Amino acid sequence: MLILLALIIVIKHSSSTEVHKTAAVIANQEFSPNYPTTVIWWETAPENIHHFTKEYKGLVVTLSLNYTNENETLTREFVYDQTVIYVKHVEEFSLILKMVKPSLEPIQLILVLIEVNESRITNLIQVAWKNEVAQIIIVTTNKKKDINLYTFIPYTPGDCGNITPVEVPINAPSFSIRKFINFNKCPLTLSAHTSMPYIKVIKENDKIILSGFESDVINLIVERLNASLVVISNEGQERDNIANDSLKVGFSDLISKDADVMLPAVFVNEKRYSVALTTYTYNDLTIVWIAPKQRVIYAWANLILPFISRITPLIILTFISFIAVVKLIIRFGRYHEFKEKTVIFQSFTILLGLQTKFETKCWLNNTVHVLWVWYCFLIRIAYQGDLINGLHKVILEPPIRTVNDGLQNLDKVVASAAIQELYKNTSLEEQFNVLAKPSDSEVYLKKIVDGARILLAEDFVSVKSHGYSEMVQFLEESVIRLPACLFVRARWPGVDEFRRKIMEFHQHGFFGYYYYQNKARHYRRYERNHGLHIKEQNTEPLTIVSLSSLFYGLLMAYFICFIVFCMEIIWFKTKAARENPIVKKQKISVTFIEG
């Protein structure tokens, strides 16, 4: 709901109460009864205030400037959105407007005059327009004591500051005229900075070209308002202003009144809300935590990855079958041409796929050997297939799920000043490294993709638009999801019509149409420029890290074989000593005598 701000100025030259009653009637019609109204006066007699408050039906707060300093500024604590000012001459009106600091919303002004010529009305209109007061109704009495109403239309064909008085019928159903429904080619100044995929600023010579989803939207609004778009961009410079660091880019133009509207749309926080006006909320931003991809650990374990897969039960069954085959051959074989250890060894060579010769006269032995060969052949093929896939897989470090995990495992935290404010008065606030300007976020994204140990808070759509969504790690704990809107400068007279256009376009689906159209076009262009469609068709070679796992496995097999070999030597010596203890003692005794 748009709040209608109003300022009523009464210039009093007679004791007639008709002007006060007329001002009260207009105030009752235009002001909202749910909001208080401030009545300010300086040189006007207090009884005139009494006449107005007697007829006005809303809440009233009176404020006399007789006891204030001319250089003192009245803040929002004293001046409400709906304000009535009593003055006696133009100079007093100008001084009061300089002293009064109304809210951020534009002002609707009702000015009441008695027996004043048209040139005086023009001077008052000029003061009002200079102070960004466009919605004004002048109530005056002529020499015949008839009440006349005047206003002005600032944007007319060929004149973007027309202060010529225009007469308004006294019985008009509404005194608020939509004066900015047609800008008549008057300028609408836009401050823009790059934030893909929403908007991109391209400077060619002295001309600034915009592209992106929100540039299409603003062009449509400018077309419907019949305005001329003037784009400024201060991405290359930073200026100090009354707000904090989160307002350096873009907002500085709104605060200094160099621009009327700022792109791209950003979420609302306390500092932004206190220095600029918001428009209709048509989008939301999901701010997420971004960390580098999980690092590869235990590269040597790639060799055993195939065992931890779908063939794991078959591998277990293989060893059980291996023992069972050996027992069957040893127990049920009619001819025992092979010793037990020979059967075990040659069955194992079959499992490894090596050449083995079995010549037995027992059909059971031959049948079991053949079945064992087929079984080992199938297992070997399955293992080799999974081994090839397993070599392309890696064992990664545990994922970073929360901010606390990121603080413990990463080197620093980076975010914009606006996001830092979300963690105000928390332990995390002091740990932030604040971005100097919004475009620096892409620089940090590239660093994270390259492996830098940085925790970055950024808009999810922005990260995805750069093609980094598959190259970084998103924490399960997101920052926040906030509504976003365009910001316009304080007290800009055209804000109501601008808001109305945004709301109409959003309700008719224009924002969704432009957003998805630009997103698809941007992603296709990114894939074409980076060759992502070619990457999907080609296979990737094994890396040295993956290949090294084979050598790790080979060295491990050598070590196991060496241990088995040593154990066999010790076992055979122990067994020989147990079977021939007398011979061993005789050899020792003979050696002793000879010595």
Residue 83 pLDDT class (50, 70, 90 cuts): confident
Contact 333, 321 (CB under 8 A): no
> Does the global pTM surpass 0.75?
no
Contact 490, 241 (CB under 8 A): no
Supply the pLDDT for residue 154: 93
H-type alpha helices, 108-227 = 118-130, 213-225
Residue 557 has pLDDT above 90, yes or no: no
Supply the pLDDT for residue 407: 85
- Look at the alpha carbons of 550, 555, 561, 564 in this order and tell me if their dihedral is positive or negative: negative
Contact 532, 526 (CB under 8 A): yes
Mean pLDDT, rounded, for 402-430: 85
Residue 295 has pLDDT above 90, yes or no: no
Contact 74, 101 (CB under 8 A): yes
Mean pLDDT, rounded, for 29-47: 83
Mind listing the pLDDT tens digit for each residue in 433-472? Answer: 888 777 788 888 889 988 889 899 888 888 887 777 788 8
Pairing of strands 276-278, 480-489: antiparallel
Supply the pLDDT for residue 533: 42
Residue 248 has pLDDT above 70, yes or no: no
Query: What distances in angstroms separate CA 58 from CA 39, 149, 403, one per listed residue?
Result: 12, 23, 51
Mean pLDDT, rounded, for 288-313: 70
Rounded (to 5) percent helix, strand, coil in the chain: 45, 20, 35
Q: What is the DSSP string of 358-384?
A: ---S-HHHHHHHHHHHHHHHHHHHHHH
Residue holding tokens 């027309």?
Answer: 162
CA-based R_g, the chain, Å: 42
Mind listing the pLDDT tens digit for each residue in 262-290? Answer: 988 888 888 888 889 998 888 888 888 98
Mind listing the pLDDT tens digit for each residue in 479-509? Answer: 778 888 899 998 899 999 999 999 988 888 8
Q: Give me the percent of the chain exceeding a pLDDT of 70.
A: 71
Least confident of 77-91, 131-145, 544-558: 544-558
Pairing of strands 60-64, 37-41: parallel
Mind listing the pLDDT tens digit for each residue in 121-162? Answer: 888 899 989 988 888 888 777 777 778 888 899 999 989 999
Describe the crossing of helices 544-579 and 363-392 by its angle, rounded to 10 degrees.
140
Supply the pLDDT for residue 408: 86
Nearest to 524 by CA among 158, 115, 197, 194: 197
Contact 97, 131 (CB under 8 A): yes
Q: DSSP strand E in 42-132: where?
A: 60-64, 82-87, 107-114
Supply the pLDDT for residue 185: 93
Residue 588 has pLDDT above 60, yes or no: no
Mind listing the pLDDT tens digit for each residue in 427-444? Answer: 888 888 888 777 788 888
Q: How far apart are CA 159 and CA 326, in angstroms?
A: 104
Supply the pLDDT for residue 275: 87
Query: In a 10 Å sphere around its CB, with 0-12 CB exposed, 13-18 middle and 19+ buried, how is residue 106 labelled?
Result: buried
Q: What is the mean pLDDT of the chain?
A: 76
Least confident of 86-100, 231-245, 388-402, 527-541: 527-541
